[in-house]
Amino acid sequence: MPSARDANPLPSIRDVARLAGVSHMTVSRVLNDSPNVSEQARARVENAIDELRFRPSSTARALAHGRTRTLGVLDATGGLLYGPSRTISAIELAGRDLGYSVMIAAVDAADLASVHSALEHLLDQDAAGVIVIGPSAHTHDAVAEAAPRVPVMTMHGTHEGDGFIGQTLGVQAAVDHLVRAATRALVDRGFDATVDDVAQLAGVSRRTVFRYFATRDDLLATAILAGVPAFDANLPKYDHDHDTDWRSWVSALCGIIHGMNGDFGRMLWDLMTRHDRSERLSAAAEEIDRYRRKRNDNVAVTLWHALGCTGRPAAGMLHTVNAHLSPYFTIAVVRDANGDEALAAELAEAAIVDAAERFRAQHVAHGRT
């Protein structure tokens, strides 16, 4: 008797090609995001994929590219420990974020035959790497010996040799995954973003989100504060030892800051103009304000010394730098001047360079160099 699946077989790449009126090679190029496809053909293929609800076979694509996107997890804990269970959940979240499927095999750590059998199963699926949860030293050695050609990582075990990491990193991977999803939700919806929005973007349930964050505002505050270190790391450094041209440095600085101010400035504006923000979000807003004022003061001091001036920068110099590097300046140019981040950077550069030359001249005139 034919099954429902036989009556309604899953669509194939050739079905997509037939509906789109193209060759199956053209469909393959679209799936692999090849640039050698016309826009019209790409649109027909994408419409056919949507209509047929076609999903490419990950196995077939792996064979075509000579690699897989599968991670193997060998659970040697018996499923009895809370920490390792959360770690496995974190591995699944992080793997999904990176485009990997995760296969889990439970084993009896005391039975090496069980370990070998489960490992062979994972390797038969061409796992790109194996993570062993809760192994003893002899379990780890057996896995490392049986799988010499793939990376092996051990967690929560008694063996702390090569490849050992603890529970903290597993939990951190899940937190990082949720924070990235929350950041995308903030860019799309601002602080109207909900836990459901974040959960959907992360591919998890609401329950999983609340496992790591007590409230929605705790998650959103963590997401917006997570951007601060990356913001700082992208800023060009002024090299006093090699007489860097200060105008070029100011130009690069304005371009990068206002480029990053685009999304960040909109989020910050949304946060600062809300009258209903919680104590947690208010604390995050204050922390960001302290950071950017300190950063802008440091820019002004660096520029002052690059000009060959001594002591603290003139007050007008500090005010000019703070005003023109502010995310609110970016927002004002975009909203009120019908400009963009590039125009904001250009205007900021002109204002800061003009102030630098003017206040340096005053400093020299007063004989302070």
pLDDT tens digits, residue range 268-304? Answer: 777 877 778 888 888 888 888 888 889 899 999 999 9
Share of the chain above pLDDT 70, in %: 78
Compute the distance between CA of residue 140 and CA of residue 172 in angstroms, rounded to an integer: 23
The mean pLDDT value of the chain amounts to: 78
Q: What is the pLDDT of residue 5?
A: 41
Residues 158, 204: one domain?
Answer: no
The residue among 125, 150, 165 that closes a domain is: 165
CATH code assigned at 203: 1.10.10.60
**Whole-angstrom distance, CA of residue 261 vs CA of residue 268:** 9
Q: Do 239 and 139 lie in a common domain?
A: no
**Helix (H), strand (E) at residue 279:** helix 279-306
360 and 239 belong to one structural domain: yes
Structure tokens at 304: 């002052």
- CATH code of the domain in which 45 resides: 1.10.260.40
Give yes or no for residue 229 having a pLDDT over 70: yes
Assigned domain for 61 exists: no
- Identify which of 345, 312, 306 has the alpha carbon closest to the alpha carbon of residue 326: 345
Tell me the residue range of the domain where 347 lies. Answer: 234-365
- Residue 176: per-residue pLDDT: 84
If one counts every other C-beta atom within 10 angstroms of the C-beta of residue 155, the result is: 23
pLDDT of 243 > 70? The answer is: no
Give residue 352's pLDDT.
95
Q: Is residue 238 situated within a structural domain?
A: yes
C-beta separation of 69 from 128 below 8 A: yes
Reported as half-sphere exposure (CB side, CA atoms, 13 A), residue 119 has a value of 28
Among residues 60, 140, 59, 66, the alpha carbon closest in space to that of 101 is found at 59
Same domain, yes or no: 342 and 219: no
Domain assignment present for 326: yes
Residue 185 is given by DSSP the state H
Specify whether 50 is located in the same domain as 130. Answer: no
Q: Are residues 239 and 340 in the same domain?
A: yes
Give residue 91's pLDDT: 79
Query: Which CATH number characterizes residue 141's domain?
Result: 3.40.50.2300
Q: In this structure, is residue 62 part of a structural domain?
A: no
Write out the two tokens for 234. Answer: 């992208």
Structure confidence at residue 127 (pLDDT)? 77
User: Does 12 fall in a domain?
Assistant: yes
Residue 191 is classified by DSSP as: G
Same domain, yes or no: 244 and 327:
yes
pLDDT at site 166: 46
**Domain contains 63:** no
In this structure, the answer to whether residues 291 and 360 fall within a common structural domain is yes
Give me the pLDDT at residue 269, please: 76
The band of 56, judged by pLDDT with boundaries at 50, 70 and 90, is: low
Q: What is the pLDDT of residues 70-112, one digit of tens each?
A: 888 888 766 544 455 667 777 777 777 677 788 888 777 667 7
Say what the pLDDT of residue 230 is: 73
Q: What is the pLDDT of residue 50?
A: 85
> What is the predicted pLDDT for the residue at 299?
92
Q: Of 214, 231, 248, which residue is a domain's last?
A: 231
Q: Looking at the structure, tell me whether residues 156 and 176 fall in a common domain.
A: no
**Count: domains in the chain:** 4
Residues 142 and 245 in one domain: no
**pTM of the full structure:** 0.52
Among residues 16, 34, 56, the one where a domain terminates is 56
242 and 217 co-located in one domain? no
In a domain, 197, yes or no: yes
Could you tell me what percent of the chain has a pLDDT over 90? 17
Residue 347 lies in a domain: yes
Q: Are residues 243 and 347 in the same domain?
A: yes
Least confident of 94-103, 192-201, 354-363: 94-103
> What local confidence, expressed as pLDDT, does residue 6 receive?
45
Per-residue pLDDT of 140-181, as tens digits, reads 666 666 555 567 776 655 444 444 344 445 567 778 888 889
